[in-house]
Chain A
Amino acid sequence: MKKNKSNVKNNAYTAMLKKDFKINKSLYIMVLPVIVFYLLFHYVPMYGAIIAFKNFKPQLGIWGSSWVGLKHFMDFFNGYYFLNILGNTLRISFATLIFGFPAPIILALLLNELRNAKFAKIIQNFTYMPHFISLVVICGLIRNFTADSGVIPYLLSFFGVEPKSLLNYPQYFVPIYVISNIWQEVGWGSIIYLAALTNVDASLYEAAVIDGANKWKQLIHITIPSIMPTIVIMLIMRVGNILNVGFEKILLLYNGSTLDVADVISTYVYRKGLLDLSWSFSTAVGLFNSVINFIFLVGMNSISKRVNEVGLW
């Protein structure tokens, strides 16, 4: 009896699939190039990541190379650099998160308070602009502006700081990285919050004014709660990339004297893999990076779902 039922169900399912394929055949054919693209440039490299568990030699290929299990991971964990680069990665990432994440929210709230809409628009346009300048140029500018004869040491000299090339001093590296990041992205990042702010129900404010709530109370009890879902989503996405610091930027900014504080997991992967040609070892390090990110993403998502009932999935 039971078997019969599941048979019927199975048949219905197959019939449905057949019907679906008949109707949508041309659509499936159409999307094939897209599938091929993702297979080639995303899934093949994922598969290629198994060289992390092998001793990869290009002439032997992925299958020809011998298995070594977790050797590369152990080498990395026990290696001289492990704690240093993990610490650097977390330090740079958390600094960017703590200072960089609230900045666009604050900017959006302040822009939202401007009474003159035209003025607000002009300011917004100025703040978006740096987002479109290429990283190479930005880093060139940072080098130039922080050099001993540059603008920033010149301005700092008014506060009694001896002019020197800031990028050569380890203690300035993280601040330079974080501040320039905020400079470049704060305006662009604020757009999404401004969009959320325009959707806040105006009648809530009217009611609050009647109840005698001042601006500050309105901010705490209406504005912030209304844009909270957006903030949470952005935070989850950000935390899911906790170990992906802007490594292209670090590559363009670091030098021998700041390596101790600036070297992060991804720059280490780059140097080990592409300059020293230790393919398997650097793939293992990269894989470690991906897995940690993924754990953070899943963790953050489930915390947020429990606390705020907002999640990516």
Chain B
Amino acid sequence: MKIKVSLAQRIFDFFNVIFMCVLAIVMIYPVWHVVMASLSDNNMLIGYTGMLFKPLGFSINAYKLMIRDSMIATGYLNTIFIVVIGVSLNLLFTSIAAYFLSRKNVYWQKFVMFFIVVTMFFSGGTIPFYLFVTQTLKLNNSLWALILPVLINTYNMIIMRTSFMAIPDSLEEAARIDGASHWTVLFKIVLPLSKAIIAVMCLYYAVGHWNSWFNASLFIKDREKYPLQLLLREILIINDTNAMTQGSGDAAEKMSIAETVKYAVVVTGTLPILCLYPFLQKYFVKGVMIGSVKG
């Protein structure tokens, strides 16, 4: 069937496309600006105002200075530790909870569900949480304080439960009749059939750990244990780049090089996620889709 397109429709389409292109530029430009600034010559960048479409001059000095600073490497390692251990435990706990809540004919299930969902809408607040973690569990200055309190994200768990419920019961029942334990069913049947949702969960949790800074700012005092985001905060928000610009000439030179170092740090801190992004975006979206089908 050929659809007749009216003039008004065509005008609308035209402006819609223009609007979308502008939107795409607005979305991408800040990231582009940062990458270009990080590759710029610091002396040219310092006096420059305006948009950046290509590097001003070209210099990778900022990256060299950044790599020389051992704090960034330590921060990276701490963050990687948190992401790897954190995500593994997240997946284990989340899938156990989702498995339990997706079974049929379990009497106490609805109570457990209620017990869990209440925490989405009501919490004791920051202070009692802080006091419990630091005074009762004595986890201050430990990277575990960044992993254990966020073992299960209830929203993610509900997404996973919805996906588990879609797996046909017959498979599980057959295995149970053959004497398989629930652990076997979970690890040998349910999880292998849920690769897409596991990918979604990995990504959600990994991005969450990678980007989180607030709990770290509460619990981690020792600079050796700073995750990357706390270092980024120090450099970007508190404006402290002394450690990295040491021995690079006079005060003015230091100030200008500090500016490019800032950009370089942002690029290194954001790059891993933005590099993965094009490959994984379909999974991110998938998670929202499953989540939007109300369980």
> Which residues of A line the B interface, CB within 8 A?
16-17, 20, 23-24, 26-28, 30-31, 33-35, 37-38, 40-49, 51, 58, 107, 110-111, 113-115, 119, 122-123, 125-130, 132-137, 139-141, 143-145, 149-151, 154-155, 163, 183, 187-188, 191-192, 195-196, 215, 230, 233, 240, 248, 251-252, 266, 269-270, 273-274, 279, 282-283, 286-287, 289-290, 293-294, 297
Contact = CB atoms under 8 A, between A and B. Distances in A.
B225 interface: no
Contact of A137 (B12, B23, B106, B232): B232
A44 B124 CA distance: 8
B288 A191 contact: yes
A37 B152 contact: yes
A114 B20 contact: yes
B266 interface: yes
B167 interface: no
Contacts of B16: 110, 113-114
Contacts of A230: 292
Contacts of A35: 112, 115
Contacts of B236: 136-137, 139-140, 143-144
A163 B50 CA distance: 11
B97 interface: yes
Nearest to A280: B127
Interface stretch (B61-69, B129-137, B190-198, B242-250): B129-137
Contact of A140 (B99, B116, B232): B232
A47 B131 CA distance: 12
B90 to A, nearest CB: 11
A28 to B, nearest CB: 7
Contact of B289 (A135, A144, A191, A248): A191
A218 to B, nearest CB: 12
Contact of B93 (A33, A233, A251): A33
Interface size class of B (residues with CB under 8 A): 35 or more
Interface string B135-167: 110000000000011011000000000000000
A24 B115 CA distance: 19
Given A123-B24, A136-B233, A191-B288, A154 B51 contact: yes
Contacts of B211: 132-136
A43 to B, nearest CB: 8
A282 B136 CA distance: 19
Contacts of A274: 126-127, 130, 218
Contacts of B262: 140, 144
Nearest to B133: A41
Given A30-B182, A286-B126, A191 B285 contact: yes
Contact of B124 (A46, A129, A294): A46
Contact of A58 (B50, B135, B218, B269): B135
Contacts of A163: 49
Interface of B: 9, 12-13, 16-17, 19-21, 23-24, 26-28, 30-31, 33-34, 48-51, 93, 96-97, 99-100, 103, 105-108, 112, 115-116, 119, 121-132, 135-136, 148-149, 151-152, 181-183, 207, 210-214, 218, 229, 232-233, 235-237, 262, 266, 269-270, 273-274, 277-278, 281, 284-285, 288-289, 291-292, 294
B232 A136 contact: yes
A41 B148 contact: yes
Given A183-B26, A195-B292, A289-B125, A48 B131 contact: yes
Q: Interface centre among A17, A37, A41, A192, by most B CB within 10 Å?
A: A41
Given A34-B152, A51-B131, A140-B232, 8 more contacts: A24-B105, A30-B182, A48-B128, A48-B132, A58-B131, A183-B27, A279-B131, A286-B125
Contacts of B136: 44
B229 A134 contact: yes
Instruction: Report whether over half of chain B's contact residues are helix, strand or loop; otherwise say mixed.
Output: helix
9 tightest CB-CB pairs across the interface, nearest first?
A140-B236, A48-B128, A286-B125, A45-B124, A134-B211, A46-B124, A20-B107, A42-B119, A31-B100
A222 to B, nearest CB: 16
Contacts of A233: 294
A107 B23 CA distance: 10
A110 B82 CA distance: 40
A35 B128 CA distance: 19
Nearest to A23: B105
Contact of B27 (A24, A143, A187, A251): A187
B20 A151 contact: no
Contacts of A26: 181-182
Given A129-B31, A286-B126, A195 B24 contact: no
A68 to B, nearest CB: 16
Contacts of A151: 33, 50-51
Nearest to B128: A48
Q: Interface centre among A45, A119, A155, A251, by most B CB within 10 Å?
A: A45
A132 B124 CA distance: 28
Contacts of B233: 136, 252
Contacts of A187: 27
B13 A113 contact: yes
Given A46-B128, A140-B232, A273-B130, A27 B237 contact: no
A241 to B, nearest CB: 9
Contacts of B13: 113, 115
Contact of B20 (A123, A132, A266, A293): A123
Given A215-B12, A283-B127, A128 B284 contact: yes
Nearest to A193: B292
